Amino acid sequence: MKDAGLYIPGVGARDVVRGGAGVRAQALDRDGTLVDDFRIHRVGRITAVRNAPSPAATASMAIAEHITTAALDAD
């Protein structure tokens, strides 16, 4: 909770409740197999992250760096 307080001042244990399991989408290849890797596609000035399986949250800063570098190199 201490670390959460860095982002949300005043948050405490009373503010946190256990939640249920979630569902996340995952891309399939044309043959129906799960795509188990990141799919980042760029057309012109549009960048689409089409698949971001676990650990996408953990890798989010690296993904952002990759997309930013690609965008800057293209311009």
The strand pairing partners of 29, in sequence order, are: none
What are the tokens at 33? 């197999």
Domain-wise residue ranges, the chain: 37-75
pLDDT for position 58 = 85
pLDDT for position 59 = 86
β strands within the chain, DSSP E: 39-43, 46-51
Per-residue model confidence as pLDDT tens for the chain (75 residues): 889 889 999 999 999 888 888 877 788 999 999 998 888 988 988 889 888 887 777 888 988 999 999 888 876
pLDDT for position 11 = 92
CA 48 to chain centre: 12
